[in-house]
Structure 1
């Protein structure tokens, strides 16, 4: 099982989309600063994730979520409403 996940920074208006096999471990790595791409934006909330059966599908979904139409879809369907 692979997970495509969305993190939202608690300190800046910034989101990150990634994929992994071990979701809990990966979120901990992001929050402890072990990821170069996200260390300046930590800590994070795990906003949403999608489980898929194979790596190829996870990569395609991650790429889609980083595209213009994917961001729009993600905002509409996977992001919580803000007050």
Structure 2
């Protein structure tokens, strides 16, 4: 079973947040910062401010969907407040 990371990016341009998942955080951040992701290309540069690992895509996808929900955004705000 693959280790899959759920991550949160913050745009250094406008402060926008982006939640995604990947098996390779370094490569994925590079893709976001070189315009290879359609949604994030207009908000470069990005920094990765949070990541967590999950065993398998199903668990990671469930967590990603939660973090994109209103409750998940509140959780992120509470837990990342000291880092932002």
- Return the TM-score normalized by structure 1: 0.93
CA distance in 2, matches of 1:51, 1:78: 17
Greater than 6 Å deviation, 4+ residue runs = none
SS in 2 for 1:3: strand
Q: Hey, what does 2:66 align to over in structure 1?
A: 64
Q: List per-residue Cα deviations over 1:30-80 (Å, max 9, x = no partner).
A: 001100010000101110001111100110000000000000001111354
SS in 2 for 1:36: coil
Q: Hey, what does 2:4 align to over in structure 1?
A: 2
CA separation of 1:49 and 1:79: change in aligned 2, threshold 3 A: farther
- Return the TM-score normalized by structure 2: 0.92
Unaligned runs of 5+ in 1: none
CA separation of 1:22 and 1:55: change in aligned 2, threshold 3 A: same
Which one of the candidate residues 26, 29, 32 is aligned to 1:27?
A: 29
What is the RMSD computed on CA atoms of the aligned residues?
1.1
